[in-house]
Amino acid sequence: ELDARLNMLTDLSGKVAIVTAGPTYEAIDPVRFIGDHSSGLMGIELANALASRGAKTVLVLGPTSLKIPPGIELVCVTTAIEMYEAVKERFISTDIAVMAAAVADYRPLNRASNKIKKTQTELSITLTKNPDILQFCGEHKTINQLVVGFALETDNEEGNAKEKMHRKNADMIVLNSLNTPQAGFGTLTNKLTIFEQSGIVHDVPLD
Ligand code: C5P
């Protein structure tokens, strides 16, 4: 019986997992950046869960102040391009890819080499699109690789989440609820809905 329980805890042994987590910071000048409120907690917890089930787990982590549990290989990155490169390099040898990072969709086209002075009344910064890491995984995955994406939507939550899963060719998409108290950014509890390509839907209640 103990054997059965130990087996259950190591059901992912021999598998390699990669998880992205946290925000990315896109430099405007040497002191300023574009970022978001992601804490990285969801991805860190997922990496921990994968590792404790026996998967060799790599966590590609954007800037965060959270501590990383032992047993996880940590790759610290700052920008979306760095995160993309880190995943791209490792994806081919990965069985499970979980893209939980809140990647900045755009970055400043040019990073000012000096701190921008407040001389102008209006200031425009031209942004350019970042590579989509989940899309890359979806496009390159083989039948044996599992790719999981996340969605955080403010309107038409279910429709947008499913559309994202199909467009990016993810096997599953996890929809975060922003409309529930105690769920969303920086909370220790969350409420999720998981959509699978097969049409199966899992409701994960607030916990
Ligand atoms: O399109 P949207 O950004 O809402 O998609 C969210 C999902 O795509 C998340 O899984 C996120 O980690 C991933 N993503 C990514 N690279 C980007 C943008 C989003 O991997 N540049």
Identify the band that residue 127 occupies on the pLDDT scale cut at 50, 70 and 90. Answer: very high
Instruction: Determine the Cα–Cα distance for residues 24 and 105; give it in Å rounded to an integer.
Output: 9
User: What pLDDT sits at residue 177?
Assistant: 78
Pocket test for ligand 1, best of 82, 83, 134, 147 (most atoms within 8 A of CB): 134
**pLDDT of 207 strictly over 80:** no
Query: CB within 6 Å of ligand 1 — which residues?
Result: 20, 80, 99, 101, 103, 105, 130, 132-134, 149-151, 164
CA atoms within 13 Å, Cβ hemisphere of 136: 19
Measured by CA distance, the residue closest to atom 4 of ligand 1 is: 151
How many other C-beta atoms are found inside a 10 Å radius of the C-beta of residue 155?
7
| Helix, strand, or coil (residue 2) | helix
Q: Do the beta carbons of residue 104 and residue 121 sit within 8 Å?
A: no
| DSSP character at residue 193 | E
User: What pLDDT sits at residue 5?
Assistant: 60
**pLDDT of 186 strictly over 90:** no
Closest CA to 81 of 29, 19, 130: 130
Model confidence pLDDT, tens digit, residues 31-70? 999 999 999 999 999 999 999 999 999 999 999 999 999 9
Beta pairing partners, 96 = 17, 146
Model confidence pLDDT, tens digit, residues 80-116? 999 999 999 999 999 999 999 999 999 999 999 999 9
Q: How far away, in angstroms, is 150 Cα from ligand 1 center?
A: 7
User: What pLDDT sits at residue 168?
Assistant: 98
The residue assigned the tokens 């199909």 is: 166
pTM for this prediction: 0.93
Residue 137 tokens read as 């995984």
Residue 1 Cα distances to 6, 7, 8, 13, 54, angstroms: 9, 10, 11, 19, 19
Pocket test for ligand 1, best of 20, 133, 166, 172 (most atoms within 8 A of CB): 133
Residue 124 tokens read as 């425009």
Q: How far away, in angstroms, is 7 Cα from ligand 1 center?
A: 33
Pocket test for ligand 1, best of 103, 105, 130, 137 (most atoms within 8 A of CB): 103
Work out the mean pLDDT of the chain and round it to a whole number. Answer: 93
